[in-house]
Amino acid sequence: MSGGDVLERLWSGWRSTYVSSVGPPGDASGEPSVFVAILASGLPDEQTHIVHRGTTCFAILNAYPYATAHTLVLPYREVGDLEDLSDAEVNELWSTVRQTVRAIKAAYRPEGLNVGLNLGRPAGGSVSQHLHVHVVPRWTGDSNFLTATANTRTIPEALPDTAAKLRAAWSAS
């Protein structure tokens, strides 16, 4: 920064709760992932924001989404590497990703979607011991100035409302 530059900060204090709850990326502590903890909690899907349950995989809203309806698809079994999934898990994982895309398109009508995995800590996997596929709806202009200047995103809808819309779209398809 040069002499006349001013550094502005927009605090996202809620983020520290999330960061401390999942532990360091690629947590080698032996503790179960946040996803295993959610599944073991016994809480209802409406409280945990699980929007779909299959035989070997499920879909859950990202608690700290990049965009409204940012959904994660993952196996129940905690596994970090794609090649370690069983054939049944692979088949259901990708089938559930396809169903998630359909539900998001039906509920939100995005102009596009990002679908992808971050495998391993260096790839950006924040919970790298439990692989998960991100399905993120996108609209032209959705990367606004807040992300570029303040490392902050504006999410215009509460997670329970998003989950209800996706559940309704899921059951309609």
Catalytic residue set? 132
Tokens 């002499």 belong to residue: 3
| 159 in Cβ contact with 88 (< 8 Å) | no
Q: How much is the CA Rg of the chain, to the nearest whole Å?
A: 17
Handedness of CA 40, 41, 42, 46 (dihedral sign): negative
E strands, the chain, are 50-53, 57-61, 71-75, 112-117, 133-138
Rounded CA-CA distance 127/48 in Å is 17
DSSP 152: -
Residue 60 is encoded by which pair of tokens?
Answer: 């859950």
Rounded CA-CA distance 54/157 in Å is 26
